Structure 1
Amino acid sequence: MRSHEYVLLLGADQYLRERAFSGAKQAADLPVWAAAEDPVRRPNRTFDHMLPADPKDPESLLRAIRAHSARGLHPRVVVPLNDWTLDAANTVNRELGLGGLDATAVTNARNKHAMKRALLAGGVRTPRSALVRSEPELLDAVEAIGLPVVIKPYDFGGSGGVVLATTREEAIAGLAESKAVIAQYGAAFGILGDKYLVERFVDSDDEVSVEVLCGAGRAQVLAVTEKYLSPRPWFAELAHLVPSHRTGDPVLTELAVQACVALGIDRGLAHVEIKFDADGTPWVIEVAARPGGDGIMDQVERAYSLNPYRLHVGSYLGQDLLDVVAAAVPVKTSAIAFLKAAPGRIEDVLDGKPLPPEVRALNISARPGDLSHAAKNWSTREGLVELEWDQLFSAKTPLPVALAKELSDQIFVTGEAAGE
């Protein structure tokens, strides 16, 4: 029987990761598959084939892969594209002898407490933190670390359940809010959410993410993304802009690379979140062993004319692409910003007016009758706009958030308060 190989992408069918299919095609002249629990009732015609398996469950994946292997169809490699598939993809890779990240690296990238310990052991500057399970442990951590603190689930993402506390009372309320978010979303994302990280707050709204291609004991920065955050006490990401004016900063670059090496990430793209304190000192907040989400990879592709998913998949295939990354130069600025209606019930959605020339794409997800809440995390958005400029900015520009607000005010008609 003739053997046929394919590349299996996990998480590539997620909204704003569609360009992963094109990147995988560029990286390998092979069919590109994805996985879904019920591809018959929820077909996806983008991919060459949909594997009937839960992309978050390695046992489900292995059963489906082995069933196809009996017919001569074998994965060359399994590539994770989001946090929820990271463990499954690399467990399958190791089980089938296809490479993949070491199990310790996966733990370091998914367990924020283990991540902090590995960063500190590697000499990486990161805020002091403590792992807690209960309110008494929370108050002990607040006493030891000192206010203000940030409270977050230790194994979640997307700013879900991340809250700032400036008093003991706010810390107690913040832990309750974080637990409520996990109760709402934990099962859908396959996370435990049974522990929470209490972290010293780096008092600044100046934050970037650094997109890094990793190799064995080395790494190369591809791009620096400027981040725009919601008003406190939450940390919803309102916009991302590529390239940041900090691109090329050697201190920032070295810190991001050091963080990836400390966590043992030796392949694929990593997403390193860094904040700057009042005197400009950078602090590593978190590291994800996968490409940045929220459409950041699409903005990188437009700004650099280089599909970053090609690098991510190629790295998992064993290709050394660090020189390609080192030679990448931005030729324009690209941004994604999220639409936010005023709090209340959306009475009408007015689309169809002329759009500013900077707009590359517009997607409205809210409908009349929906409730709009304050920007807390990914779940409180009403849509998105993608923007582009034929210039590079030398300082942080307010344009992405300003244009998104202008459009939101034009599009959404909001009535009574959401707390009705």
Structure 2
Amino acid sequence: MQQKQYLLLLGADQYLRERAFSGAKQAVDLPVWAAAEDPVRKLNRTFDNMLAADPKDPESLLRAIRAQAARGWHPRIVVPLNDWTVDSANAVNRTLGLGGLDATAVTNARNKYAMKQTLLAAGVRTPRSQLVQSEEELLDAVESIGLPVVIKPYDFGGSGGVVLATTREEAIAGLAESRAVIERYGSSFNILGDKYLVEQFVDSDDEVSVEVLCGAGRAQVLAVTEKYLSPRPWFAEVAHLVPSHRTGDPVLTDLAVRACTALGIDRGLAHVEVKFGADGTAWVIEVAARPGGDGIMDQVERAYGLNPYRLHVGSYLGSDLFDVVGGAEPIRTSAIAFLKASPGRIQDIVDGKPLPPEVRSINISAKRGDFSQAAQNWSTREGLVELEWDELFREKTALPVTMAKELSDQIFVTEETAGE
């Protein structure tokens, strides 16, 4: 039987990662497949085929892959695109002898405590942290690190369960809140959620993410994204803008590169989150061994005219694309911001009015009758808007947040505002 090859993307069917299909097609002339537990009921017609498998479960994937091998189809490589598929993709790649990340790099990228210990050992500045399971261990960690602290699940993402505590009482309540988030979402994302990180707080809202192309013993920055956060005690990401005014900062670039090499990420794009203290000191908060989420890659593509998923997939295929990254220059500014209704029950949604010329797209996910609450994480959004400007900002601009608020106030009528 003639052997036929395909590229398997895991997580590419996730909302705001659709451009991964186009990037994969640019990277290699092969059919591009995805995986879903029930592709008959959840068929994604973008892809050339879909495996009937849980993309988070390597055993499920291997069964489906071997069933296709009996028909002559074999994966060239399996490429993860989100946190939940990094482990499964690399387990499959290693089992089938296809390459992929080293197991230690996967652990470092998914276990935030292991990540921070590795960074500290390599001399990369990151907040001190302790791993806890009980309230007693939590209070011991608070005593050791000193208030305020940030409490978060050690293996989750999307700002889920991340809470600031300024007192011992707030720390106890924060741990309970973090546990509640894991209880609600943990099984859906196939995470343990059995331990929590108590972390030194960098007192600043000045944060960026750095998209880095990684290779064996080297890494190179592609883009820097300005991040906008919700009011404390939560750290929900409410907007992203590319390129940040910090693009090209040599200290930031060096820090992001050192973080990726310290963690052993030797292929694909990595997403490095960096926070700046009040004195301007840069701290690595987290590193993910996959492209940035929340539609950041789409903003990079619009700002640079380059599909970053092409780099991610090409790197997994063994292509040297550092010259492409080195030649990338931003030609415009692109942003994504998340719509937020005022707190209360949404009574009406007023859509159809003329939109500002900067709006590239808008999507309203909320429905009449939904309850809007304060921005805590990805699950408390009512939609999104993408924006574009034919200029590069030389300092931080509030436009993504202010424009999203103006649109939200125009679109959503809640109980609180219905009678005004």
Tell me if TM exceeds 0.5. Answer: yes
Report the equivalent of 2:328: 328
Partner Cα distance (1:116, 1:277) in 2:
18
Point out 4+ residue stretches in structure 1 off by more than 6 angstroms: none
Report the equivalent of 1:312: 312
Report the equivalent of 2:143: 143
Whether 1:215 aligns to 2:212 is no
Report the equivalent of 2:298: 298
Report the equivalent of 1:99: 99
Partner Cα distance (2:239, 2:38) in 1:
33
Q: How does 1:402-413 map to 2 (within 5 A)?
A: 402-413=402-413
Report the equivalent of 1:250: 250
- Aligned partner of residue 187 in structure 1, secondary structure: coil
TM-score, with length taken from structure 1: 0.99
Partner Cα distance (1:293, 1:55) in 2:
17
Whether 1:362 aligns to 2:362 is yes
Report the equivalent of 2:10: 10
Report the equivalent of 2:195: 195
Kindly report the root-mean-square deviation, in angstroms, between the aligned alpha carbons of the 2 structures: 0.7
Displacement after TM superposition at 1:378 (Å): 0.2
Q: What percentage of aligned pairs have identical amino acids?
A: 84
Report the equivalent of 1:264: 264
- Aligned partner of residue 78 in structure 2, secondary structure: strand
Displacement after TM superposition at 1:122 (Å): 1.2
Displacement after TM superposition at 1:121 (Å): 1.2
Displacement after TM superposition at 1:21 (Å): 0.1
1:306-363 per-residue CA deviation (whole Å, 9 max, x = no partner) reads 0000000000000010111011000000000000000000000000000000000000
- Aligned partner of residue 188 in structure 1, secondary structure: coil
Report the equivalent of 1:47: 47
Displacement after TM superposition at 1:416 (Å): 5.2
Displacement after TM superposition at 1:71 (Å): 1.2
Q: How does 1:51-62 map to 2 (within 5 A)?
A: 51-62=51-62
Partner Cα distance (2:47, 2:343) in 1:
38
1:154-201 per-residue CA deviation (whole Å, 9 max, x = no partner) reads 000000000000000000000000000000000000001000000000
Report the equivalent of 1:235: 235
Partner Cα distance (2:33, 2:292) in 1:
21
Partner Cα distance (1:296, 1:185) in 2:
23
Q: Name the amino acid aligned to 1:304.
A: Y
Q: How does 1:368-379 map to 2 (within 5 A)?
A: 368-379=368-379
Partner Cα distance (1:98, 1:278) in 2:
45
Partner Cα distance (1:29, 1:367) in 2:
41
Whether 1:160 aligns to 2:160 is yes
1:276-328 per-residue CA deviation (whole Å, 9 max, x = no partner) reads 00110000000000000000000000000000000000000000101110110
1:4-49 per-residue CA deviation (whole Å, 9 max, x = no partner) reads 1000000000000000000000000000000000000111100000
Q: How does 1:83-94 map to 2 (within 5 A)?
A: 83-94=83-94
**Structure 1 gap segments, 5+ residues each:** none
Conserved 8 A contact 2:337-2:404: yes
TM-score, with length taken from structure 2: 0.99
